């Protein structure tokens, strides 16, 4: 849009119903603070500036809301005198003369740019206040939107509504767009002649009409306007967010066998024709390229999985894990801060940390890169097409050359050159008949202990 726009985000609540030691807007949805979902959405809305109204945990809330490419200023609401009073905490920003002023809530992370665009579009058509509302089968507890001939007459709180008005299913979502040229005039005219002595933003509709302005309601899906006041509602928002994002990914060409069991992070990227099996959890920072597969019961965070690679089942990829094209990390394996080369295999029961694995290498079951000395982490390098036998321990820093072969059960503490065979284990001894002697000795000891306990 050519029009300038200020978004005021209200995030100053005390969050008492969350029963938490931090502001509710800092609680995460899909691994991201709620407030960041709101300001992140604004980056797609042609918003020129964001005025963040803060109270509790002001510094932390401002930090969480500040995103690259977003011009944001914070304003503190010292007293809690209602939503109208909260908006006026950003008076300095409003007075700059933006064409459109949006009022949003920091605990409504599902609001979309499309809804805000439709509210702003109403302003371009001569409307002064566009309230965002929703239709619901359960309107109890919500303010009703009173519509006549397409105009919004008022927002009627349920306790003040008549019986006919309570039957209305079109309810107030709380958020709105206001004509920037008249915003301060309308906001300053809101009174506090009510039982609580507070300034209610909802009164702006009647204020605007009294001053000759027009007000309308813009409908949005009910779920999109859901807010959060307690942990149960936080879980509900998470559910809605996950359902929305899963659907988007599946429609983009991702296969999810049991989508309701897959949990995504806010920034999860999954390419076309990738397959996600049941019970997979994505933490932040994961990219799955096309045609890769993540098998059941795997957990990924901060990882890159290249095309045609395979993860799991029961695998864990920690931050810094990169799987090359066609690579495989199998069941009960953990990879951290390691590059697994193209076509390399880490099939089962293995820990690979702080490592570089060459293309085509094969890492046997039970292999461990011993990367931590109690103070520092050290690097293990395993060359292309090398073979690491099962139950081997590679004590970093150490390098295994291209095409090298490490015998099963070895503890490798020195570098192994290209195409060399490394054995680092004690020579096996076999003593005939000794097993029977040991069993007899153990049985005698057991009998002695049994008699001693009986005497006690």
Q: How many CA atoms lie within 13 A of 399 on its CB side?
A: 7
DSSP 260: G
Nearest to 116 by CA among 2, 236, 5: 5
Residue with tokens 């920037």: 180
Count of CB atoms within 10 A of residue 356's CB?
17
Torsion sign over Cα 245, 251, 255, 257: positive
Q: In 213-281, where does DSSP find H-type helix?
A: 231-251
- Contact between 154 and 77 under an 8 Å Cβ cutoff? The reply is no
| Whole-number Å distance between alpha carbons of 404 and 407 | 10
Angstrom distance (rounded) from CA 130 to CA 152: 9
348 is catalytic: yes
Gap between the terminal Cα atoms of the chain = 90
Answer for the pair 294, 329: CB distance below 8 angstroms, yes or no.
no
Within 8 A by CB and 6+ apart from 228, the residues are 18, 24, 27, 34, 107, 108, 109, 234, 237
Identify the three-state secondary structure at position 84. helix
Pairing of strands 405-406, 421-422: parallel
Which of 37, 49, 299, 348 is the catalytic position?
Answer: 348
Residue with tokens 């008005």: 165
Task: Determine the Cα–Cα distance for residues 285 and 343; give it in Å rounded to an integer.
Answer: 23
CB 284 within 8 Å of CB 263: no
Please report how many Cα atoms fall inside a 13 Å half-sphere around the Cα of residue 226, on the Cβ side: 20
Determine the Cα angle at 109 with ends 107 and 110, to 5°.
Answer: 135
Give dist(CA 320, CA 354) in Å, integer: 9
- Kindly list the catalytic residues: 348
């Amino acid at each position: 849009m050519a029009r300038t726009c200020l978004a005021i985000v209200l995030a100053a609540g005390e969050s008492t119903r969350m029963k938490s030691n931090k502001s509710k807007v800092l609680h995460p949805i899909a691994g991201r603070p709620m407030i960041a979902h709101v300001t992140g959405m604004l980056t797609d809305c042609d918003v020129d500036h964001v005025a963040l109204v803060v109270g509790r945990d002001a510094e932390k809330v401002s930090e969480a809301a500040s995103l690259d490419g977003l011009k944001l200023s914070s304003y503190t609401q010292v007293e809690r005198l209602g939503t109208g009073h909260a908006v006026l905490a950003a008076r300095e920003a409003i007075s700059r003369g933006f064409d459109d002023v949006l009022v949003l809530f920091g605990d409504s992370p599902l609001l979309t740019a499309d809804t805000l665009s439709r509210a702003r579009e109403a302003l371009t058509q001569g409307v002064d206040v566009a309230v965002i509302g929703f239709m619901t089968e359960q309107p109890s507890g919500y303010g009703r939107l009173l519509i006549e001939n397409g105009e919004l007459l008022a927002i009627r709180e349920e306790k003040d509504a008549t019986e006919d008005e309570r039957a209305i299913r079109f309810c107030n979502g709380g958020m709105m767009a206001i004509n920037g040229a008249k915003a301060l005039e309308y906001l300053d005219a809101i009174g506090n002649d009510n039982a609580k002595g507070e300034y209610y933003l909802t009164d702006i509709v009647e204020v605007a009409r009294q001053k000759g302005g027009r007000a309308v309601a813009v409908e949005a899906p009910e779920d999109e306007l859901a807010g959060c006041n307690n942990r149960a509602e936080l879980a509900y928002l998470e559910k809605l967010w996950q359902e929305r994002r899963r659907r988007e990914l599946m429609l983009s060409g991702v296969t999810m066998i049991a989508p309701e069991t897959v949990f995504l992070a806010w920034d999860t990227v999954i390419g076309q024709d990738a397959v996600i099996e049941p019970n997979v959890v994505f933490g932040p920072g994961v990219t799955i390229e096309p045609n890769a597969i993540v098998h059941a019961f795997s957990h990924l965070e901060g990882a890159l999985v290249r095309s045609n690679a395979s993860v799991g089942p029961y695998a864990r990829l920690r931050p810094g894990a990169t799987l090359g094209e066609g690579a495989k990390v199998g069941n009960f394996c953990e990879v951290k801060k390691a590059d697994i080369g193209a076509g390399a295999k880490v099939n089962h029961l293995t820990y690979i940390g702080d490592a570089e694995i060459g293309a085509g290498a094969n890492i046997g079951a039970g292999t461990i890169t011993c990367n931590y000395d109690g103070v520092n982490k050290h690097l293990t390098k395993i060359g292309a097409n090398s073979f690491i036998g099962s139950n081997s321990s590679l004590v970093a820093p150490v390098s295994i050359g291209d095409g090298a072969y490490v015998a099963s059960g070895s503890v490798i503490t020195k570098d192994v050159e290209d195409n060399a065979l490394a054995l680092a284990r004690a020579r096996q001894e076999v003593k005939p008949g000794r097993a029977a002697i040991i069993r007899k000795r153990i049985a005698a000891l057991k009998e002695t202990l049994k008699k001693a306990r009986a005497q006690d």
